[in-house]
Amino acid sequence: MNKKCTGCGAWLQYDYPKEIGYVPEKVAIEQSQPLCQRCFKIKNYGSYIPVNLDKEFYKNEVINVIKDMDAILLILDIIEFESSFDKEILSLLKNKKFIIAVNKIDLIPGNKHASEVSDWIKMRLFKEGLEALDIAVLSTHKNYGVNGIFRKFKHFFPNGAKIAIIGATNVGKSSLINKLFNDNRATISKYPGTTLKTVKHTKEKFVFFDTPGIIPKGRLSDLVCEKCNLDIVPSNEISRKTFKFGKDRVLFLGGLAYFRILKEFDVKPIFSVYLSKNVIFHETNKDKIDSIIEKHSGNMLTPPCNDCKTDYYNNKFKSEIIEIEDKEELVIKGLGWLTVKRGPLIIELTIPESVEYVIREAFIEPKRPEDMF
């Protein structure tokens, strides 16, 4: 069969039910544009069907597609910004014309004007030596900014163009396709790795190529089971809690990571932590760290859940001393971030060794003292 699934791009086949692209023979014969069984189940039942393809498979697919393009549309996720602004992904933009779209702005806590978001992105691109044709601010959930993107392409390419939509897994590439075409053609899901091969969509003189997401390095959310992954990656409102802590107080972020305040100066530091609502905070003293992990991981300290905690704690952990100044943020990739309101904040952070963190100029200023613990 020489057809691709319109939902995920996999080549359709009816011989191997456990392989990607499987569609029952009867459906393949009767329907002109059948969906593979996996897409059918995701779309109709919201089921999750994991696919074990390695990182290189997705990356090579994207590298091949962009060779032949007039332009690239790189989608970033404002909430998972540091993972989606991955060096490997940015390297694909070299010598290409590109537009950046920052998606999921509906999840930003507080009021942030679109122009503030795009100025901040411009500054981050400049630091990487990159210049976009334009920057768009987007929420496919709220249908905000979608038509603006198409207008930008028409402006820069009045004769039409071939455009690859690329980015990390789960940033909303396929969601954008569905909004651009005002239908439900692409399979989208809460889980990373939904699109498997490139899918081509034509609109007026433009051809958009929805590509599989690239798996960035260093995300904590990739170390837990699928259920916990959903709990960690914010899909609706983000929780913000503000703390004023003295020396040797410890804050657990679920059972995933914790940090201890190492020093206290004249006044206690104040900081806000932003995480998915499903990650539970727990405050304690330094002497209780080990006993709390032993007694409460998988229940009071969750995620990780009881099913994946053993695998999670089998990772090698690192403890690193980090100093964060006023108006700076510490971002733990694939988990969340912490903004310092009154610093300096000197902590010892304990996270799995493969997880990366970044200190950046604050994007979101910590707010009102009334939500302070």
Ligand X SMILES: Nc1nc2c(ncn2[C@@H]2O[C@H](COP(=O)(O)OP(=O)(O)OP(=O)(O)O)[C@@H](O)[C@H]2O)c(=O)[nH]1
Is residue 198 at the binding interface for ligand X, with CB under 6 A as the rule? no
Query: Given the structure tokens 């493969």, which residue do they identify?
Result: 354
Interaction residues for ligand X, span 89-128 (CB under 6 A): 103-104, 106-107
CB of 201 vs Mg ion, minimal distance in Å = 12
CA distance 341 to 3: 55
Site for ligand X in 150-169 (CB under 6 A): 167, 169
* Cis peptide leading into residue 344 (ω within 30°): yes
Say which entry of Mg ion, ligand X, none residue 308 contacts (CB below 5 to 8 A, set by partner kind).
none
Per CB under 5 A, contacts with Mg ion among 191-220 are 194-195
Choose, by CB under 6 A, the member of 37, 83, 84, 194 that binds ligand X: 194
103 binds, among ligand X, Mg ion, none (CB under 5 to 8 A by kind): ligand X
Q: Quick check: 84 binds Mg ion (CB under 5 A)? A: no
- Given 6, 195, 198, 302, the residue binding ligand X (CB under 6 A): 195
Q: Does 297 bind ligand X (CB under 6 A)?
A: no
Residue 210 C-beta: closest distance to ligand X, Å? 7
Output the residue with the shortest Cβ distance to ligand X: 213
Q: Tell me which residues in 23-42 interact with ligand X (CB under 6 A).
A: none
- Calpha distance 364→349 (Å, rounded): 21
Compute the distance between CA of residue 334 and CA of residue 358 in angstroms, rounded to an integer: 11
CA distance 106 to 87: 25
The DSSP call for residue 214 is: B
User: How far is Cα 173 from Cα 13, in angstroms, rounded to an integer?
Assistant: 25
Which uninterrupted H or E stretch holds 259? strand 257-261
Q: Toward Mg ion, which CB reaches closer, 140 or 350?
A: 140
By beta-carbon proximity to Mg ion, the closer residue of 194 and 297 is 194
Based on DSSP, count helices (H) and strands (E) in the chain, helices before strands.
11, 16
Exposed e or buried b per residue across 334-357, where buried means at least 16 C-beta atoms within 10 angstroms of its C-beta: bbbbbbbbebebbbebbbbeebbb
Residue recorded with tokens 């259920």: 227
Whether the bond between 303 and the residue before it is cis, its omega within 30 degrees of 0, is: yes
Minimum CB–partner distance for residue 261 and ligand X (Å): 32
350 touches ligand X (CB under 6 A): no
Among 37, 84, 174, 178, binds Mg ion (CB under 5 A): 174
Give the residues lining the site for ligand X (CB under 6 A).
103-104, 106-107, 139-141, 167, 169-175, 188-190, 192-195, 212-213, 235
Give the residues lining the site for Mg ion (CB under 5 A).
173-174, 194-195
